[in-house]
Amino acid sequence: MNPRYEYRALLACDIAGSAGRGEQYLQEIRGVLRTALSDALGTAGPDARGFASVDTGDGFRLVAPARLPKAALLFPLLPELCARIRAHNRHAGPETRLRVRAAVHAGEIRFDPDGTVSGAPFEALARLLDSAPLRNATLAGTSGTPLAAILSRHVYEETVGHGYEGLETDAFTGVDVRVKEYASRAWLWYPGSPVGPRAVADQQSGSVGGRGRTEPQAPSSEQLVQVSGNGTAFTVNRGEQNVTHTDRS
C-alpha cells in the first residue's frame, strides 16, 4: 500500500517553563493541559471528533480531521482553551501554574500505511512553536499569559482574512519569525487582544466564547507590555510587534 497525502489543519502546544518542576508536577500539569485541550476541542462541534494526537512530553501535536475547517482551530478553540487554563491557574500554586504556547498551521501531510504522519508542514509548525515572538508573548503580564498562539501566514490569510465568526483582524499581531532555516510572516493571538479579554469576561459571567456579547474596543495603536522578572518587553505599534528580548524558558 502506498502512502497518501491529505490536506489537514495542524495544532501544536507545549507548556512554557516545564523544565525543572520535577516528575510529579510535570505529570500533573500535563494532565491539566490534556483535559483542558480535550474540553476545548469539544466546543468546535461534531466535526472536531477524530483528532490524531501525539504526546510530545511537555505538550501535544494534533492533526485535525479532514472535514474540520482551519477556522475551528482558532475560534472558539483558543478562547475556550485560554479560559480553562486561566480557571486552573486561579487556584494553582507556582509549581502547577500553566503558561501554554500554541501554533496553528495547515498543509499536505503524508500518511504512511503504518499510521505514521510526516511532512514539511510539521517542520513549519515546530518552528512557529519555538519562535521568539511566541515565547515572549507567553510572558506578558505579572505572572505570564495562560495561552499565547501563533498562526502561520497560510492559516491567517485563509481564516482571519475571510472574516469567519470570532476572528477579528485586530485580535492578531503580525510578527516576523526566524528559527533556523525557517523564515516567514506569522500572527500572534494572546489575552490582551480583543478576543482575549472577551473570553475572560464571558467565563466569569458563565458564557465562554463571546457569542452575543458586545465587542470590546480594540487596543490602542501603541501598546507596551512589560514582563516582570526578566527584563523582557515588546511593543505593539499599529499591529506590528518588535521583540526586544528573547526568553528561552
pLDDT at 193: 56
Mean pLDDT of 230-235: 30
**Cell for 5?**
497525502
Res 235: pLDDT: 32
Report the greatest alpha carbon distance in the chain.
56
Select the highest-mean-pLDDT range: 20-24, 169-173, 205-209, 228-232.
Answer: 20-24
* Contact criterion met (CB below 8 Å) for 232 and 145: no
Q: What are the residues whose beta carbons fall under 8 Å from the beta carbon of 221, sequence distance 6 or more?
A: 237, 238
- Pairwise pLDDT comparison (162 vs 59), residue with the higher score: 59
What pLDDT was estimated at residue 140?
Answer: 74
Query: Rounded CA gap, 58 and 98, in Å?
Result: 11
Domains of the chain: 4-218 (3.30.70.1230)
42: left (phi over 0), alpha (psi -120 to 50) or beta: alpha
Residue 44: its pLDDT value, please?
A: 74
What is residue 119's predicted lDDT score, i.e. its pLDDT?
A: 94
The pLDDT of residue 64 is 93
pLDDT of residue 143: 66
Q: How far apart are CA 16 and CA 140, in angstroms?
A: 12
What is the residue-wise DSSP string for 7-49?
A: EEEEEEEEETT-TTS-HHHHHHHHHHHHHHHHHHHGGG-GGGT
47 C-beta neighbours (distance < 10 Å), count:
13
Beta strands in 75-230 (DSSP E): 100-111, 117-118, 147-152, 173-179, 182-189, 222-226
Residue 8 per-residue DSSP state: E
User: Does the pLDDT at position 49 exceed 80?
Assistant: no
What is the pLDDT at residue 13?
Answer: 96
Looking at residue 136, its amino acid is: N
Is the pLDDT higher at 247 or at 188? 188
Contact 225, 247 (CB under 8 A): no
Residue located via cell numbers 485563509:
158
Highest mean pLDDT, choosing among 17-26, 104-113, 135-144, 226-235:
104-113
**pLDDT for 108 beyond 90:** yes
Number of alpha carbons in the 13 Å side-chain half-sphere of residue 149: 28
Cis peptide before 76 (omega within 30 of 0): yes
At 220, is the pLDDT very low, low, confident or very high (cuts 50, 70, 90)?
Answer: very low
pLDDT, tens digit (0-9, with 9 covering 90-100), for 114-147: 888 999 999 999 999 999 999 998 887 666 789 9
- Phi-psi domain of 239 (left: phi exceeds 0; alpha: psi -120 through 50; beta: other): left
Closest CA to 151 of 8, 6, 11, 7: 11
Rounded-to-integer distance, Cα 127 and Cα 131, Å: 6
Identify the band that residue 170 occupies on the pLDDT scale cut at 50, 70 and 90: confident
